[in-house]
Amino acid sequence: MKVNVESLPFDKMFEAIEVRLGAKEDSIDILLVDAPMVANYTAKGYLADLYSYVGEKSKGNITETSLGAGTIDGKLMALPLNSSTVNLYYNKEIFKEKGIEVPPENVDERWTWEKVVDVAKKLTYEKDGRQIYGLCFEQIGRPYQLLPLAQSLGAEEFVNKDGSKTEGYTNSEEMVKACQFYYDTFNTWNISPRISADDAVSYFTGGQVAMFIGGPWQIPSMTEAGMDFGIAPHPYFEGGEVVTPTGSWYVGVSNYSKNKEEAAKFVEFITTNDDACQMNYDIGKNLPCNIHVLEAIDNDSAYESFPDNSMKLAVYESINTAKARPQMAGYAEWQSVMEKTYSDIMNGSNPKEALDLAVAEIDKQLEKYKK
Amino acid sequence: MKKLLSILLCICLTAGLTACRKNNEDIQEAGNSVELNFLVMPDIEKVSDVFKEYEKKIQL
Amino acid sequence: MRWKRMAAPLLFLTPAMLGIIVFKMVPILQGVIDSFFQYSFINQKTYFSGFQNYIDALTDPIFLNSIKVTMIFNIIVNPLQVLISFGLGLLLMIRIKGQTTFRTIHLIPITVSFTVACILWGVLMNPEQGLLNSVLNLFGIPNQQFLFDKAQALPSVIGIATWKGVGYWALFFISGLEEIPSQLYEAAAIDGSGPWNTLIHITIPQMKRTVLFVVVSDTISNFLLFVPAYILTNGGPEGSTDFMMFEIFKNAYTYSNVNLASSMIVLLLVIMLAVVGIESMLLGGRDE
C-alpha cells in the first residue's frame, strides 16, 4: 500500500477540493478539512461517514472537544490531525539593536496591542537598504488570525443563530474597530509589510520583522534559519478579553473514494495512534489532540527546554483563551469574501465601507443554503 | 510489397511487446494493491514521515 | 455520383468535427441547460428554476461590477492591442540588419505561459522590492503600488496582457502584409505616393481580412481573460480587476453554485457575440 501526498498552497488546496469533489472525482481519497468546514463539506456530500471504520479505543485517544467538532448529527465525518494556537514570536537581535525590552513570557504580564504598536513603531526602520518592520501577522488576510482582534474587543457572534445572515454581526461596531486597527498597521503607522500570507514567515526568518504573530508550527523554520527568537503570549486589547485563535486541521475520507476502508484506516492511524501523534508533534510542533501526547508535553522532562516549553503556553491558551471560528454551512463563502475584504482593507479601503459591502455579498451567497 | 510487410511486422512486434509489458506491470501493481491519494498543504506536508510510518506498519 | 466526391473530404473532416462537438458544443449546451436549474443543498436535489439564475446574476452588484470592469477593459485593450501589433507588424517587415533578432525577441512573450508571465510580472511590480519600482526610483519617482492600488491595478493588467499579446497578433499582420503583392507598392511609388499615403490607401485596405480576423480573435480572448485576476489580484483591489470570467469561476468553484455560474457564462457569451457581430459588420464588407 502506498500513500501519495499531493501538496498545494493553502488557497489552491481549498479550490482543488471544490473542483474535484464537486465533480465527484475519485482522484482524492483523503483530504484535509479545515475545522469550520466540516459542516460545509458534510452538507455538500464530500465526506464519508467514518463511524464503522474507527474503533472506540482510537476515539478515546483524542480530546472530547476535538472528537466532537468532527462529528455532525451523530456521524463521524472527520478526525483531528492537530489543534493550533498563536503566539507572539520576536527577533531578539532587532530588539537588542534598538535597546528595547522584550515582551515577557508570563501570561499574566502579556502585552496589550496598544503596547505592541508602540514598540513596533520604534522597531520599524531601514537597515542596509532593507526595510525592517515592527509587526507582521503570519496569516495575513485570513479570518483565523484576525477574528480574535474583534473578539478581544467584545465581538461575540459573526452570524445569526441559524447561520443565514451576517448583517449586523460581521460588520458590527467591534469588527469595524478591529479592522480599523488592522488598516492602521499597514496604512497609518506603516509598521507592517503589505505581503501575502504565503510570504509572511520568510520575512520573519529572513530577519525583516521584529514581532511575528504566528503559530508553533513555524518553529522548525525559525530554528532551521538559525534565528535568535523568543516566544511571548498573544496580545489583547486594553480593557478587552484575551482571545487567541484556534482551530484544527481535520482529516476526512472522500465520499467518492474507491478505497474508503483503507483510507479510513489510514486516517485513524495518523489522527489517533499514540506513536503517530507523538511523531506528528516532534516533527511539526503542531498542538496535538492526542491526550497521551498532551500529557507527555506537560510532564515529560524532555520538553523542558526551549522551544518545546512553549508548548505549555500553547496548551494554556488552547484551554483558557482560545475561541473557535463561527460554525456555519456557508463558511466557505464567508471566508472567501472576508479574505477579499481583509485584502482590500490592507490596501487602503475604508474598513466600515468594506465590511458593509462584504456582509451584503455574503448574505446573498448564504441564501442558497436557505431554500 | 516486401517493404510494406516488414514495416507492418515491426509495428505488430512493438505493439505486442508493449502490451505484454503493460500486462506484467498491471499484475505487479495489483499485487502492490492500494494507492491512496492524500491532498494536503505545505504545513502538513512537513509531517509526511508520519504517513510513511503507516505504510511500513501495513507491510508488516 | 456526388456522394463519391464528398466522401473523402467528409471523412477527413469527421475527426475534427467530432472533437468540436464533444469538447465545445456539448459543454456549451450543457451549460445553457444548467443555467435554468438550481441545486438545493438542504434537499440535495436539482430543480427547474426558469430564469431565476439570470435575474439573480443581473441583480447582483458584484456581477454587474464585473460586467463593467470587463467592458472597460475590452474597450481599452482591444483597439490598443490591434493598433500596437499592427504597428509592430509594420516595423518587423522593414528589411534592416538584425531583423531576425528583433522578430525573435518579440516572439518570446508568446512562448511563456500566461500563468508564468503573470507571476513574473507580479514580482517585477512588487510595491516594496520590485524591479519596476527600482527603475522608477532612479528617476526620482516614488514606489508605485501597481496591482495593489485601486486606480493602477486595471492599467497594470492591461499592460501585462498587451505585453503578452502583441507579438502574437503581430505575426498575423506580418503574414497578411507579406501577402500584399509588391506590384501595388511599385505602382504607388511610380505614382509618387509618399509612405503615409501608401499606408492609408494601399496597405490598410489590403489588410482588411487580416484586421478583421485579429480584431475578432483578440476580442474573444480578451473577453475571456481570467489568469491575471486569478493569479495576481484576486479580483481586487475593491473589485477593480474583477473580470466576468473570474466571477464565473468564483461562483462555480468557491461558492459551489455551478448553475448560477452557467447563467453568467451564457450572459458573457451573449455580450461577446454582440460585440463581435458589431465588429464584423463594421470591418467586414466586400473584398475590393
Neighbours of A27 (CB within 10 A): 14
**Mutation site, A328, A344, A355, A356, interface C, largest C CB count within 10 A:** A344
Neighboring chain C residues of A360 at a CB cutoff of 8 Å: 61
| Residue C64 backbone dihedrals phi, psi, to 5 degrees | -60, -40
Neighboring chain C residues of A348 at a CB cutoff of 8 Å: 149-150, 237
Identify any residues that bridge with A76 across adjacent strands, giving them in sequence order: A71
The C-alpha R_g of chain C, in whole angstroms, comes to 23
Q: Search chain A and give the residue with CA nearest C256.
A: A18
Q: Side chain identity at C259, as an amino acid letter? A: N
Neighboring chain C residues of A344 at a CB cutoff of 8 Å: 236-238
- Pick the more confident residue, A328 or A154: A154
In sign, the C-alpha dihedral spanning C69, C70, C72, C76 is: positive
Asked if A355 and A176 touch (Cβ cutoff 8 Å), the reply is yes
Q: Which of A18, A51, A120 is nearest to A332 (CA)?
A: A18
The x, y and z cell numbers of residue C252, run together, are: 462555480
- What is the C-alpha to C-alpha distance for residues A37 and A41, in angstroms, rounded to an integer? 6
- Pick the more confident residue, A268 or C205: A268
Q: Cell 472533437: give the residue.
A: C19
The x, y and z cell numbers of residue A39, run together, are: 459542516
Q: Which of A146, B54, C82, A164 is nearest to A155 (CA)?
A: A146
Q: Side chain identity at A352, as an amino acid letter? A: K
Q: Cell 502583441: give the residue.
A: C166
3-state secondary structure chain A: CEEEEEECCHHHHHHHHHHHHHCCCCCCCEEEEEHHHHHHHHHCCCECCCCCCCCHHHHHCECHHHHHHCEECCEECCEEEEECCCEEEEEHHHHHHCCCCCCCCCHHHCCEHHHHHHHHHHCCEEECCEEEEEEEECCCCCHHHHHHHHHHCCCCCCCCCCCCCCCCCCCCHHHHHHHHHHHHHHHCCCCCCCCCHHHHHHHHHCCCEEEEEECHHHHHHHHHCCCCEEEECCCECCCCCCCEECCCEEEEEECCCCCHHHHHHHHHHHHHCHHHHHHHHHHHCCECCEHHHHHHHHHCHHHCCCCCCHHHHHHHHHHHCEECCCCCCCHHHHHHHHHHHHHHHHCCCCHHHHHHHHHHHHHHHHHHHCC
**Is A269–B54 a contact, with Cβ atoms under 8 angstroms apart?**
yes
**Is A259–B50 a contact, with Cβ atoms under 8 angstroms apart?**
no
**Is A15–C253 a contact, with Cβ atoms under 8 angstroms apart?**
yes
Q: Cell 534565528: give the residue.
A: A227
Return the domain boundaries, chain B: 2-59
Residues contacting A12, CB < 8 A, separation 6+: none
**Is A270–B36 a contact, with Cβ atoms under 8 angstroms apart?**
no
pLDDT given at position B27: 55
- What is the C-alpha to C-alpha distance for residues A275 and A292, in angstroms, rounded to an integer? 10
Return the domain boundaries, chain C: 36-41+48-283
- Asked if A368 is an interface residue toward chain C (Cβ–Cβ < 8 A), one would say yes
CB contact residues (below 8 A), chain C span 251-280, against chain A: 253-258
pLDDT given at position A11: 81
- Residue A62 clears pLDDT 50, i.e. is over it: yes
pLDDT given at position C288: 44
Neighbours of A148 (CB within 10 A): 28
Report, as ranges of residue numbers, the positions in chain C whose pLDDT lies below 50. Answer: 287-288
pLDDT bracket for residue A264 (50, 70, 90): very high
Q: Which of A291, A281, A268, A82 is nearest to B58 (CA)?
A: A268
pLDDT given at position B26: 61
DSSP letter (8 states) at residue C253: I
Q: How far is CA C243 from the centre of its chain?
A: 12
- Average pLDDT value over all residues in chain A: 89
CB contact residues (below 8 A), chain B span 4-43, against chain A: 32-43
* pLDDT tens per residue across span A297-311: 877 777 777 777 788
pLDDT given at position C202: 81
- Residue A359 clears pLDDT 60, i.e. is over it: yes
**Is A6–B40 a contact, with Cβ atoms under 8 angstroms apart?**
yes
pLDDT bracket for residue A43 (50, 70, 90): confident
Q: Cell 474573444: give the residue.
A: C220
Query: Do B and C count as touching (3 or more CB pairs closer than 8 A)?
Result: no
- Asked if C159 is an interface residue toward chain A (Cβ–Cβ < 8 A), one would say no
Element spanning C32, H or E? helix C26-34
Asked if A316 and A107 touch (Cβ cutoff 8 Å), the reply is yes
Q: What share of chain A in percent tops pLDDT 90?
A: 56
Q: Cell 466586400: give the residue.
A: C286
Within 13 Å of residue C275, how many CA atoms lie on the same side as its CB?
A: 22
- Pick the more confident residue, A188 or A298: A188
* pLDDT tens per residue across span C111-169: 999 999 999 999 999 887 789 998 998 898 888 888 888 899 999 999 999 999 998 99
Give the closest of B40, B43, B59 to A5, CB-based.
Answer: B40
- Asked if A12 is an interface residue toward chain C (Cβ–Cβ < 8 A), one would say no
Q: Which of A278, A277, A256, A258 is nearest to A267 (CA)?
A: A277
Asked if B40 and A262 touch (Cβ cutoff 8 Å), the reply is no
Asked if A39 and A331 touch (Cβ cutoff 8 Å), the reply is yes
Q: What is the ipTM of this complex?
A: 0.75
pLDDT bracket for residue B28 (50, 70, 90): low
Asked if A107 and A231 touch (Cβ cutoff 8 Å), the reply is no
- Pick the more confident residue, A100 or C6: A100
The x, y and z cell numbers of residue A333, run together, are: 463563502
- What is the C-alpha to C-alpha distance for residues A118 and A114, in angstroms, rounded to an integer? 6
pLDDT given at position B55: 85
Asked if C122 and C146 touch (Cβ cutoff 8 Å), the reply is no
For chain B, which chains pass the contact test of at least 3 CB pairs under 8 Å? A
pLDDT given at position B19: 74
Q: Which residues of C86-96 are buried (b: 16+ CB within 10 A; e: fewer)?
A: bebbeebbeee
Between chain A and chain B, the number of residue pairs with CB atoms below 8 A apart is 105
In sign, the C-alpha dihedral spanning A191, A194, A196, A199 is: negative
- Provide mean pLDDT across the span A127-143: 91
Q: What is the dihedral of CA A113, A118, A121, A122, to 10 degrees?
A: -130
* Residues shown for chain C: 288
The x, y and z cell numbers of residue A271, run together, are: 489522527
- Pick the more confident residue, B59 or C155: C155
Q: How far is CA A94 from the centre of its chain?
A: 26
Give whole-number Cα distances, A78 to A5, A36, A87, in Å: 18, 11, 27
**Which structural domains are found in chain A, ordered by start?**
10-84+246-317 (3.40.190.10), 87-244 (3.40.190.10)
Q: Which of A347, A314, A288, A267 is nearest to A32 (CA)?
A: A267
pLDDT given at position B60: 64
- What is the C-alpha to C-alpha distance for residues A242 and A233, in angstroms, rounded to an integer? 10
- Residue A332 clears pLDDT 90, i.e. is over it: no
- What is the C-alpha to C-alpha distance for residues A202 and C286, in angstroms, rounded to an integer? 62
Which CATH fold topology does C36-41+48-283 show? MetI-like fold (1.10.3720)
